[in-house]
Amino acid sequence: MKFISWNIDSINAALTGTSKRAGETRDVLHKIAAEDPDAIAIQETKLSKNGPTKKHLQVLDELFPDYAVTWRSSVEPARKGYAGTMYLYKKEYQPAVTQPQIGAPEPMDDEGRIITLEFPKFYLTEVYTPNSGSGLKRLDERQAWDDQYRQYLHQLDQDKPVIASGDFNVAHEPIDLAHPENNHHSAGYTDEEREHFTKLLAAGFTDSFRYLHPDQAGAYSWWAQRVITSKQNNSGWRIDYWLVSDRLADKLQSSTMIDSGARRDHTPIMLEIDL
């Protein structure tokens, strides 16, 4: 099976925007469609609590005519039009869809950060992990989130194998970002965030990309949008992951990034696995 995951940074802008960046984003969506994946996980949709509009659904149906759509938006008391996740999956599948509450600090459970699809032999789940914020003002809450999320994945894994993707907002090791020496106290590369990611892997999960490419440097999934030269200099971070239950590791076939051209910010990541 083939799966793709992407932090899209506003699906409204992607589907209806007229800017140069919107065009770049739609180009990436066409690339994703051409891969014909079994399911597509999308983070940071930034939709209202009512979800995609008729126009959004029309454009999605034109791009992905063989796919069903499920979504989760930020709801009060969380900020409006914030975070949010979505799945597109082939209509031939009929997974059970859940939108779990994991007992995270308020209002994180209301920010639409997790959707889980249950297939007969495995769980497919996506996450948009909270950022620790400027000045690390949300680091304590982020650590509590990490603990609860790890427990949630572990519980799923007791039932059947798990395939988890998303924007985890952490570069795990120095090889996972271009300038580790300058970012030791930056959100996404603090000792605390990295330690929690280590704990997550130790709970029974494999980082598919690093498993298949143990020594590959310069492979990133995010480049700062506000820094014009970030992508041309490959000054990036690998903060988007496909994790699998350890017992699925020997079934991994590929774990790669999809080239998003000149578009800065996140790039899609793709997993192929023999299930």
Residues involved in catalysis: 128, 167
Nearest to 197 by CA among 269, 124, 127, 137: 127
Compute the distance between CA of residue 38 and CA of residue 3 in angstroms, rounded to an integer.
Answer: 6
**To 5 degrees, how large is the angle CA 35–CA 116–CA 132?**
95
**How many CA atoms within 13 Å lie on the side-chain side of 36?**
0
Contacts of 237 (CB under 8 A, 6+ apart): 171, 176, 177, 178, 188, 189, 220, 221, 222, 223
Compute the distance between CA of residue 80 and CA of residue 260 in angstroms, rounded to an integer.
Answer: 28
| Sheet hosting strand 67-72, strand order edge to edge | 67-72, 85-90, 39-43, 2-7, 269-273, 252-257
Q: Are 269 and 242 in contact (CB under 8 A)?
A: yes
Residue 189 backbone dihedrals phi, psi, to 5 degrees: -145, 30
Nearest to 241 by CA among 229, 252, 251: 252
Strands 162-167 and 205-207: unpaired
